[in-house]
Amino acid sequence: MSQRHVLQVFEQYQKARTSSCQTVAELANRPQNVETLQNAGVMSLLRPLLLDVVPTIQQTAALALGRLANFNDDLAEAVVKGDILPQLVYSLAEQNRFYKKAAAFVLRAVAKHSPHHAQAVVDCGALDTLVICLEDFDPGVKESAAWALGYIARHNAELSQAVVDAGAVPLLVLCIQEPEIALKRIAASTLSDISKHSSELAQTVVDAGSIAHLAQMILNPDEKLKRQVLSALSQIAKHSVDLAEMVVEAEIFPIVLTCLKDTDEYVKKNTATLIREIAKHTPELAQLIVNAGGIAAVIDCIGSCKGNIRLPGIMMLGYVAAHTENLAMAVIVSKGVPQLAICLADEPEHHIKAASAWALGQIGRHTPDHARAVALANVLPRLLSLYMDAESSEDLQVKAKKALKNILQKCTHLPALEPLLHDAPPNILKHVVGQFSKVLPHDSKARRLFVTSGGLKKIQEISAEPGSLLQEYINTINNCYPEEIVRYYSPGFSQTLLERVDQYQPVI
């Protein structure tokens, strides 16, 4: 009887620990409880529970800690300060899979917040154990380890390098080939985080043979996996021409274009980013994309979505058009200009407008044909208004001005230029008048039209400093017309006529 009593005490104690631990873990799920928990000194209470004799309590304690650390920076800091990490890392290698998952979750939650915290995790020697966890049988353990590694690698190049040095990349590549979708997803995202920092890191990822596996998964029906895969590919391709070519050699075109039609917005965005990162390197790569019909797909994609998802597509059009005039013409032929004009008009956000303006500038700067195509989309007045608008961001103003200048210097399509005569500031007007002065001496019809549309009158009203470029242009235009016409349209001509009437003495 006495033995039973003694044991009952222990049983109660264990039950109490278990239930309290689980309750804390559940409470930590809700943000509103976290502060109370923190004030109650939850950290110092949970720490000894990590060393409990019962595995379940250890796991639950780790889970609660992880949730708390996940919540904010201060709590993560508290975990680091509380010397909990070495303990976790130590037991990460020893314990069962549930505990491994929970411990990896804590590490991930701590590393998530800042490079400083991630460095603290690395300093505890977590990388080696996490890499060992990547070799575990249980996909859940692999997944959480990969996730933690990804959060560590995401901050900067040094941390990424540390992850690579721990030998994680080949194992991550193996993880991609596992059948579990969730594991694939996390592994792909980790590879993306590793390769985003520098070309060396990306090269390491490529050397592990990841591209072929990633490229295979482009057609996977799972959308979240597709997002990560495409993001990883674009992070690899963005660094250098060689890497971009390697990505292209995995025969992702034209399969990847199907992802532009996906229902998921982020899949679209990442696909457009991937295409952009490939197209920006050389004219040849851009040509390859154009030949695969990528431009039309991207333009359709821009048309089918809104906001930030458009941005990479818009930039891709700009990059392609910037390479050569033929590529710019291909963009025009694929009806890219009207779409960009819509983006310029509809998007409320300034950076997207700025990107559209930049892309249009890149398309229109090559030859008069290009400029004409851009001008026909009625882009110039809008660019001007964006440039003049005081509410536009500085970047948008600069981009709009540059684009206007680029297009105007090539534009010979006078009907599009005429509205600009009336409301352009002098620094833009200079280019507009310059274009008129280049065209009018050689085109009689245009001269006539210029007078009837009131352009000449406007020209006479411009007050230019004598000797300036603008004055020269005005003189050139005036020289194309008879003197009487010029005088007739000069401001104050009627006044002088009336004065002459007054002064005239009739001869009787």
Q: What does the binding site for other proteins look like in residue numbers (CB under 8 A)?
A: 1, 3-4, 7-8, 11, 14, 18, 22, 25-26, 29, 56, 59-60, 63, 66-67, 70, 98, 101-102, 105, 109, 139-140, 143-144, 147, 180-183, 254, 257-258, 260-263, 290-297, 300, 326, 329-330, 333-334
Q: Which is nearer to other proteins, 22 or 240 (CB)?
A: 22
Distance CA 72, CA 88 (A): 19
Task: Tell the smallest beta-carbon distance from residue 81 to other proteins (Å).
Answer: 21
d(CA 480, CA 71): 74
Label residues 398-408 b or e (16+ Cβ within 10 Å = b): ebbbbbbbbbb
CB of 70 to other proteins, least distance (A): 5
- Nearer to other proteins by C-beta: 25 or 201? 25
**What letter does residue 86 receive in the DSSP assignment?**
H
DSSP 6-63: HHHHHHHHHHHHHHHHHHHHHHTTSHHHHHHHHHTTHHHHHHHHTT-SSHHHHHHHHH
**Minimum gap (Å) between residue 357 Cβ and other proteins:** 24
267 with 227: CB under 8 angstroms? yes
Residue with Cβ nearer other proteins (158 or 251): 251
Q: How far is the CB of 409 from other proteins (least distance, A)?
A: 21
The candidate with the shortest Cα–Cα distance to 428, out of 460, 452, 462, is: 462
Q: How far is the CB of 84 from other proteins (least distance, A)?
A: 16
Cβ contact 96:137 at 8 Å: no
- Our CB check for other proteins shows the closer of 297 and 421 to be 297
**Sequence-ordered list of residues with C-beta below 8 angstroms from that of 321, at least 6 positions apart, any chain:** 327, 328, 331, 336, 359, 362, 363
Find the shortest distance in angstroms from Cβ 142 to other proteins.
Answer: 9
> Please, what is the end-to-end C-alpha distance for the chain in angstroms?
150
**CB of 19 vs other proteins, minimal distance in Å:** 10
Nearest to 188 by CA among 238, 223, 239, 158: 223
Judged by CB, which is closer to other proteins: 28, or 131?
A: 28
- Cβ 167 to other proteins, closest distance in Å? 22
What are the helix (H) ranges across 217-365?
223-237, 241-249, 265-279, 283-291, 294-304, 310-323, 325-333, 336-346, 350-364
The smaller minimum CB distance to other proteins, of residues 193 and 347, is found at 193
Q: What minimum distance in Å lies between the beta carbon of 442 and other proteins? A: 20
Helices (H), 179-264: 181-195, 199-207, 210-216, 223-237, 241-249
Complex with other proteins: residue 54 or 498, whichever CB lies closer = 54
Nearer to other proteins, 304 or 476 (CB): 304
Query: Between residues 294 and 318, which has the closer beta carbon with respect to other proteins?
Result: 294
